[in-house]
A and B are shown apart, each in its own frame.
Chain A
Amino acid sequence: MVRNQSVERDPHHYRRILLTGAAIGAYVLAFLLLYPRAGRVVTAGAVVPMAVLGLLWGARAGALGALCSIPLNTLLMRAAASSDWDVMLQPLALPGVIGVIIVGTVTGGLRDLRAETEQARLARYRADARVLESERRFRALIEKSSDGIGLVDAGGNIVYVSPSITTLQGYTPEKLVGKTAFELVHPDDQPQSRARFAELLRGARTVTMEYRFRHGDGSWRWFKGVATNMLDDPDVRAIVVNFRDITERKQAEAEVQRSHAELEGRVAERTAQLNQAKTFLEHLVAASPGVVFRVDLHDFRPTYVSPNVERLYGYTQQEFLEHPTFWMGAVHPDDLAVVLARLKLVLERQADHVSVEARVQHKAGSYQWLDMYAVAEHDVSGNPVAVLGYAVDISERKKAERNLHEARFEAEQANRAKSEFLSRMSHELRTPLNAILGFAQLLEMEPHTPEAAECIGYILRGGRHLLELINEVLDITRIEAGRLELSPEPVAVGEVIADSLSLIAPLAAQRNVQLNTELATPHEGYVLADRQRLRQILLNLLSNAVKYNRDGGLVAISVTETPRGRRRINIIDTGPGIPRDKLDRLFTPFERLGQSAVEGTGIGLALSRRLARLMGGDIGVESQEGEGSTFWVELDPATHPIERLPWPATDRATDPASDPATDAAGEEPQRLRSLLYVEDNLSNLELVRRALAARGSTTLHTATSGRQGVILAREHRPDLILLDLHLSDMSGVDVIHELRADPRTAWIPIVVLSADASADQRAALLANGAQAYLAKPLDVNRLFALLDDSLMVGGPMGRG
């Protein structure tokens, strides 16, 4: 070590000091070399003179080696304990050595000083100056030290405190010396301090204590004190207290403790919250009607089943958890496969949840319907590992569903029975009616008297009225049974109105009612309807308007547009009008409003309303008593079929590139040369006419009835016949039969058009000789494709 080496190197320094000490005579007691860090004497020089040293250490003066192990403060205390001595400490400022010289002055020794020589005095003066200088440094050192040293006697009175007390406790040593050590200790700490002190007095060597001490500025400071009982030591005879300000440490500790406490508080609070949540959830699950479960997808083993399973289904949690396949035994054998299949779907990633209804057996034996819903749980790599879900008893719902189903079935059954009954009734009524009307017709053809003619007329009218009634009842029945089939298509409003007016004209003339057709003629525009049924409605409304009119009255038709964009056909009469309170009953079957004198079925309006609604429209009435009524029927507007053409028809027709003449010149000999279209819907006729005009080169023949169609076919023998199935005079099938029966037309390919043919009907039509079937509304491109196709199949062909 550097310091030790220095000591070795320069022993003359010590000698010089010692010599100086010797020069001052008895005053130098000893010098000590200290390592400041350890605070222990490491070496000691000779003590001069031996006699003085003897005063201090008595007979052991020679045993300097012993000093080496005595702590400095003990040494000081020993010195201080001897009341005859003033002890001075002087720091040594020798190179390589840090240490102090302890100088003891015997109070009484001043007398000896007088005897000193001037020279010696001078030397002493010099030494004093050095000592003072050293002492100042030492004090600074001690005062800046954080530790303080005090000596207390057996009564607890302070006999010494080191100067650092001023910094530490804000008192000068003088103020403290003589006071009781406990006086300034915090009252709370006094018992402990006194107890420690008592321990010392009882023989303990050293005690340690922490206590608060009143600072000079009035505040409390924490100190840690180590007290050593040296009362028995003849050299000290005091209790040595080594103390250190630990206020900051205490504060830090308190801070740590506080934050620790706070942390613990928070943990406790959070734990309490979690417990509360857990308790809440447990209560919730326990009280809920649903069992919560978790099933491992690996082996379908339940890894959790909520305890309420016992309350709800009689099984214990353990039964499910201990036996992996236990739950499968509880599921109804017919339902297990479905449940497992759903779980597998999740396992195979084809679904991310399971939703399945299955029967589960209660431990008591009965089966209950459960609705199970579970979502997939995935591991970190996204593989489904389990499903977590709940199962709820839906037995009641199932029961209600079954009851509902049964009730519906019964209602349907009843409805079917009613339909069947009416259908049979209708059939049964027709048979006797056949005889009545049949023979009356025969009689009408025979020569007879005018009286007989009148009678026959009554029979025929009555019979036909009855037939009309039966037909309408049958229609209503079919509508209610959902068996009335409609073929809705765009229908030209003006066309159907003109049609109906011409049919009603004879009746109007007979009743002397004028028909105002002016309003009706220019009505362009289309509605979506079944043409026959729309005509049926209009005829019904028109015949009512005529029948319930006054003599010389007026019936008019107008077409308006409703705010919702529908087309409304109004039939306006000049009849007596209908009281407001009876308007509602008009559309109820067999409400004749007391006008039984007027011939009618009483079911027409009810049927018309059902038909209108079936076509997506409606029917209604506005009436002013004494002024007449307006019955209306409104329907959704439709687009003109020609507007749906995929190209502007006129442009194409005038395009020189597709000049019909050029095409006809034989460049494309395979082209269809002539076509017969049998169709009674004028707008469809117009559509095909324009489409073919754009295509060019094909001659179109049109027929508006089946009979006319057959005649034209024989006459023109077209390459192809387009045949509408719904003709007014003959059915489409009849037309096919007639065409096939005649060798002149038997080979002509027939394409059937219909809006409503079922698959069976289509098959039957094709089997009866039609080549193809096209659905309405007509798709022009498909029509053309078919035309080309039927040509390729090859012109004249015999009936297959």
Chain B
Amino acid sequence: VASTILYIEDNLSNLMLVKRVLARRPDVRLIEAMEGRLGVDLAREHHPDLILLDLHLPDISGAEVLRLLREDPSTSATPVAVISADATPGQIERLKADGVLDYLTKPLDVRKLLALLDRVLPVGGAAS
């Protein structure tokens, strides 16, 4: 497996969709977390190459997850992309200023997600 992606999302259909999209990239391993805190723990444990983050989570907010990730030296450098149904421009700008790599709005544009993966992940499993 070339790279690992952590997807923190509580909506099952969204999880399934991303899982199906990633099936088109056989060298990518997907780790799922349906709660924020669990997501942070998994990030520390697995050091993913990319974290996909939903903002509306059952325990803590996505922004809080982001903060925790940034605070921990072992996860602070991990790229994070937000996938959210909140399309408010202010929110998008704010999170990007907070160091989020990309902000994808729901409904997800599958091509955009694939383009993001291509941009961020090491090409052809060269790294890791």
Q: Which residues of A contact B (CB under 8 A)?
A: 423, 426-428, 430-439, 441-442, 445, 463, 467, 471, 474, 483, 485, 731, 733-734, 737, 761, 764-765, 767-768
Contact = CB atoms under 8 A, between A and B. Distances in A.
Interface residues of B, number: 29
B85 A434 contact: yes
Contacts of A467: 107
A435 B110 contact: no
Contact of A733 (B85, B90, B97): B97
**Which secondary structure dominates chain A's binding surface?**
helix
Given A437-B108, A463-B107, A765-B97, A731 B92 contact: yes
Contacts of A474: 87-88
Contacts of B90: 483, 485
A445 B111 CA distance: 10
Contacts of A483: 90
B67 to A, nearest CB: 15
B86 interface: yes
Given A430-B107, A431-B106, A761-B93, A438 B86 contact: no
10 contacts: A428-B85, A431-B11, A434-B106, A438-B17, A442-B20, A471-B87, A474-B87, A733-B97, A764-B97, A765-B97
Contacts of A445: 24, 110
Given A431-B85, A438-B108, A734 B96 contact: yes
A551 to B, nearest CB: 33
Nearest to B83: A434
A435 B97 contact: no
Contact of A437 (B97, B102, B107): B107
Q: Which of B92, B93, B101, B102 is packed against the most chain A CB atoms within 10 Å?
A: B93
B127 to A, nearest CB: 14
Nearest to A707: B119
Contacts of A428: 85
A432 B99 CA distance: 28
Given A435-B13, A435-B17, A442 B105 contact: no
A433 B97 CA distance: 28
Contacts of B111: 441
B28 to A, nearest CB: 16
B22 to A, nearest CB: 11
A267 B108 CA distance: 99
Given A733-B97, A761-B93, A430 B17 contact: no
Given A471-B87, A485-B89, A731-B92, A430 B97 contact: no
A753 to B, nearest CB: 15
Interface string B70-112: 0000000000000001111110111011110110011111110
Given A731-B96, A764-B98, A439 B24 contact: no
Nearest to B56: A427
A434 B14 contact: yes
B21 interface: yes
A733 B87 CA distance: 17
B87 A435 contact: no
A758 to B, nearest CB: 9
B87 A442 contact: no
A474 B98 CA distance: 24
B88 A761 contact: no
Contacts of A423: 88
A764 B94 CA distance: 8
A767 B99 CA distance: 10
A442 B16 CA distance: 11
Contacts of B106: 430-431, 433-434
B88 A438 contact: no
A765 B98 CA distance: 9
A441 B88 CA distance: 24
B13 A427 contact: no
Interface in B3-21: 11, 13-14, 17, 20-21
A426 B87 contact: yes
Contact of B96 (A427, A430, A441, A733): A733
Contacts of B96: 731, 733-734
A300 B88 CA distance: 59
Contact of B108 (A432, A434, A731, A737): A434
A737 B101 contact: yes
A22 B104 CA distance: 165
Contacts of B105: 430
Given A431-B14, A434-B13, A434-B108, 13 more contacts: A430-B85, A431-B106, A435-B14, A438-B14, A439-B17, A442-B110, A467-B107, A471-B87, A483-B90, A485-B89, A733-B96, A734-B101, A764-B98
A734 B81 CA distance: 11
